[in-house]
Structure formats: structure tokens, C-alpha cells
A = this chain, B = another copy of it.
Amino acid sequence: MKSKEFSWKYIRTENTIDLKLFSAQFEYFENPRIPGSEEKMVILRSSDSVNIVPITIEGKMIFVRQFRVGIRAFTLELPGGIIDPGESPLQAAKRELAEETGHTTQHWQVMGKVGSNPVFMDSYIHHTIAKNVKETQRIQLDDGEDISLEMLTIEDVRRRLSSGSFLHPHTISGLVFYFNQLP
């Protein structure tokens, strides 16, 4: 029953279906437990994404409130988005924070990354912190976005995290990275 590392054998890939946010492919693997097997697995391929824990000079954390069509409900999330071609995670974080919130800063830190969903996505979400952010420019939204900002105290964020009120797992993982790096 012990898995041998790297023992799943890649067989072949079929299809490429454009799903706007990602392209879907089917890949076939041989399960090491079952010689000769061909397990069909779906993979969603996309660029990595990034999100930001933005702390204002007043010590508030900035969240974006937006409609999410997946669950047809409004969520409160950390700002973020998809990394554009040629961008580093940090460059994308700076751009997304400015576009979605109008806030900028010189004080950035990349905290780490988590798989978007390792089961069927090939991408990662990179978590960053931006400290001492200030409003310096106008918000610039994509056609698919309609966002409002909420400034929460750190204590309020901690309470909401504890009570399970955040609905997006990447907001939760970003906050875990943030609270774990506090002194």
C-alpha cells in the first residue's frame, strides 16, 4: 500500500478545451498499484495567480467585496488576480493591488505559495504582504469586475478567520501565511 515516489507513469494527453480562465486537457496515467491501467485525469492549465495581504498606514487590512459567479454570492477576499505573461508574482501583486484598490507601497514581501488545487490544476497561488499601503491612484477594473473595498481591523480579520466566515480558500491560506509570520 506504500506509494513509490514518481511511480505514476504518464501515458498520453488528449484534447485541449478552451475554458477562458484555463485550458482543459485529459491526461492518462498508469496507477502503480494496477499494472497496465490507464487512469483518465482532467488537468486545468493556467497561469499562476497572486494575492495580497495589504496593511494600510492606519493598520487596517484591505479586502475586496465582489460577486462570484461560482457560488452566485458576494465574497470578502484578499485582492489579487492572475499573473500576466512575463510578470513575476511580485510584479503582478503590485499591479493587482493598484488596479483593484488604488493603493501602492514600497514595502513588499513574498510569503510563499500553495497549489491552486493540486488535484486538477497545474497552477499555484502566490501569497504576498504589502505594508504601509496608501491610496495614490484611481481604481482601474476589468470589464469582468465590480468591486467595493472594506477596511477591517486585524482583530476583526482574526475573528472572521476563526469563525469560518471567509468563503475563498486562497484568502484563508494567505491569511494563515500572514498570521504565522507575525513576531
Interface residues of A (CB under 8 A from B): 1-3, 5, 7-8, 17, 19-21, 24, 26-27, 29, 31-34, 37, 39-44, 65-75, 111-122, 124-125, 139, 141, 143-148, 161-164, 166-170, 172-173, 176-177, 180
Among B5, B117, B148, contact of A117 (Cβ-Cβ < 8 Å): B117
- Which of A26, A124, A166 has most B Cβ within 10 Å? A166
B144 touches A31 (CB 8 A): yes
- Is there contact, CB below 8 Å, between B172 and A119? no
Closest Cβ–Cβ distance, residue A182 to chain B (whole Å): 11
Determine whether the beta carbon of B20 is less than 8 Å from that of A26.
yes
Asked if B121 and A70 sit within 8 Å, CB to CB, the answer is yes
Q: How many copies does the complex hold?
A: 2
Give the residue of B7, B24, B44, B146 whose beta carbon is less than 8 angstroms from that of A3. Answer: B146
Question: Is there an interface contact between A41 and B24, defined as CB atoms closer than 8 Å?
Answer: no
A-B contacts besides A3-B65, A31-B145, A114-B172, 11 pairs, CB < 8 Å = A3-B147, A7-B146, A20-B40, A21-B119, A21-B120, A69-B119, A70-B120, A75-B115, A114-B164, A115-B167, A172-B176
Pairwise interchain contact A168-B115, C-beta atoms closer than 8 A: yes
Assembled-state Cα–Cα distance A66/B163 (Å): 30
Q: With a CB–CB cut-off of 8 A, which chain B residues contact A115?
A: 68, 70-71, 75, 167-169
Residue ID in chain B nearest A177 by CB atoms:
B164
- Taking a contact as CB atoms under 8 Å apart, the answer to whether A67 and B8 are in contact is yes
